[in-house]
Amino acid sequence: MAFKNRIVTVKKLPRELNVAQSRVFLRELETLIHADRPCLVLDCSSVGQMSKAGMCLLLTCLEEAMKRNGDVRLAGLTPESKVTMIASGVSHLFRMFDSNNEAVESFYPRPFSLALPEKLQDAAASVAA
């Protein structure tokens, strides 16, 4: 999935992720998620323990973004939240990063280069000579 020239939005999850707060947060994201090819980073650093409502929120965001050929990446998950997501079996659905910057950068393709190992460079140089 190519995301070059896309705007990546970072949104911080609320500290409490109960059902009511999840609905409010989802309404706040509605215009972002319903855009064409949304690129969204959810900053999870303030969430201590990932609740069932929190995981449902993340899955809903991902589902809505993927319907529109976009993606949701997670940043700043606490160790407790990571364990909960792994135990629940949803961790493999998300790309997770330590920082917001890493998550944002992951949406942009890196330039491809063919750097040959030093020994191969020497061999190629001697063949060319």
Predicted confidence (pLDDT) per residue in 36-92, tens digit: 899 999 999 998 888 899 999 999 999 999 999 999 999 999 999 999 999 999 999
On the question of pLDDT at 126 being above 80, the answer is no
Predicted confidence (pLDDT) per residue in 83-121, tens digit: 999 999 999 999 999 999 999 999 987 766 566 566 655
What are the backbone dihedrals phi and psi of residue 40, each rounded to the nearest 5 degrees, phi first?
-130, 130
Nearest to 100 by CA among 74, 65, 72, 70: 74
Type of residue numbered 115: A
Instruction: Using DSSP, state whether 90 is helix, strand or coil.
Output: coil
- Domain ranges, ordered by start, for the chain: 8-128
Report the alpha-carbon distance of residue 33 to residue 86 in Å, rounded. 25
Which residue has 């409010």 as its token pair? 24
Indicate the fold that domain 8-128 takes in CATH: Transcription Regulator spoIIAA (3.30.750)
Write down the mean pLDDT value for the chain: 85
Whether the Cβ atoms of residue 55 and residue 90 lie closer than 8 Å to each other: yes
